[in-house]
Amino acid sequence: MDFALPDHLQTLLAEMDAFIEAEIKPLEREHIQYFDHRREHARTDWDNGGIPRREWEDLLSEMRRRADKAGWLRYGLPSRFGGRDGSNLDMAVIREHLAHKGLGLHNDLQDESSIVGNFPQVIMMDRFGTEDQKKEWTEALITGERSMAFGLTEPNHGSDATWLETRAVRDGDSWVINGAKRFNTGVHRATHDLVFARTSGEDGQARGITAFLVSTDTPGFTVPYYWWTFNMPTDHGEVELKDVRVPADAILGEVDRGLEVGQTFLHENRIRQAASSLGAAQYCIDRAVAYANERSVFGKPLSVNQAVQWPLVELQTEAQMVRLLVRYAATELDRNHHMEVSDKVSMANYRANRLVCEAADRAMQVFGGVGYSRHEPFEHIYRHHRRYRITEGAEEIQIRRVAQRMFGFGKR
């Protein structure tokens, strides 16, 4: 087996770095308050529900505009959408590389905004949308003219997604939706929310759930508050739906088969998010090693102490194993239907998410008091990535997915 990266990726990463230095870093330096110790305060509209400040999101939009103009933003999309047909392996390597560079406008961890975009909604639309929906949505999603929040989690249901209490009932040519959703990421600026509701069947059945594209200005659709979280700003809204009426053409995919839409979203996201966690972990490890070599304590380098060396060696070993797993899972995802390799994706994701939390924590310990401060990025990295051990499939659910495949129970 050849473990070397394809030749085109080496050239690609060098070209990408040159673009970042020429176009993105100067913009970042003009707005450094969003990236230094002031970052959480500068980004958060504390008096408006804790949502991201508009100025901060406008800066991210300008970054994406520059990246799109230079041909980077759509790299992972098919060429028919203006992309470069980037594979899952390409995207995994790129996402690791960008996160490994540390905090910056080129690849912001907090909202997954990057010069190389991740567009799971576009992939969902391509796979499940009607021709009219594709014409209306695809380019608008890429440019940001339209945006789609993800309404699956509910106040009483998270990982148990087949037990949704939100209901949709057909009424003539329309559907009427009632229920509530929790942690609707990005709903503060979203034009639509992809709301999953039971339309038939019994609680616990995967069949019988439908995905609806609900405009956020529809009567009865309200966001009473946003959850303030470990990592601010927050864009995780609580959504209430009271007699929300949508037309029949608002359904994405087939009636009663909406969870297939949701699974596509999760698998596309999980492998790339795992790569980002790996890159951020490697950044923390590298910074800790460099500091341990530079720091002198009791008249000798901090790095001569085995108590410092050994935890970092363990982390570096884990990082190398996770790297191979992420790239293997990405390659398999390119070759097979996503459900065929869901266990590999789950393995890569939960191990990478654990790794980055451990690496950020160890970097804080090596740096001591300075590492605990906001003048270093480790607390920010920890707070951001800690959520991925819960969201988009808690690690327990992902381990369960691997167990299903290992022990031969449950549906594929």
Three-class secondary structure assignment of 202-240: CCCCCCCEEEEEEECCCCCEEEEEECCCCCCCCCEEEEE
What is d(CA 378, CA 103) in angstroms, rounded to the nearest whole number? Answer: 10
Query: What pLDDT, on a 0 to 100 scale, did the predictor assign at position 411?
Result: 55
CA distances from 196 to 289, 333, 406 (A): 46, 25, 29
- Predicted model pTM: 0.94
**Three-point CA angle 170, 171, 175, nearest 5°:** 50
Q: Domains plus CATH for the chain? A: 7-120 (1.10.540), 148-252 (2.40.110.10), 260-407 (1.20.140.10)
pLDDT digits (tens, 9 = 90+) for 305-333: 999 999 999 999 999 999 999 999 999 98
> Torsion angle, CA of 41/42/45/47, rounded to 10 degrees?
50
| Segments of the chain scoring below 70 in pLDDT | 1-2, 265, 268, 410-412
Query: What pLDDT, on a 0 to 100 scale, did the predictor assign at position 1?
Result: 59
Q: Dig out the tokens for 109 from the structure.
A: 């961890």
Given a contact cutoff of 8 angstroms between Cβ atoms, the answer to whether 181 and 152 are in contact is: yes
Residue with tokens 């659709």: 221
**Three-point CA angle 261, 267, 269, nearest 5°:** 105
Query: What pLDDT, on a 0 to 100 scale, did the predictor assign at position 349?
Result: 94
Query: What pLDDT, on a 0 to 100 scale, did the predictor assign at position 412?
Result: 46
Annotated catalytic residues are 392
Provide the terminal-to-terminal Cα distance of the chain, rounded to the nearest Å: 28
Query: What pLDDT, on a 0 to 100 scale, did the predictor assign at position 268?
Result: 67
Q: Dig out the tokens for 374 from the structure.
A: 């906001």
Q: Indicate the DSSP class of residue 21.
A: I
Query: What pLDDT, on a 0 to 100 scale, did the predictor assign at position 275?
Result: 96
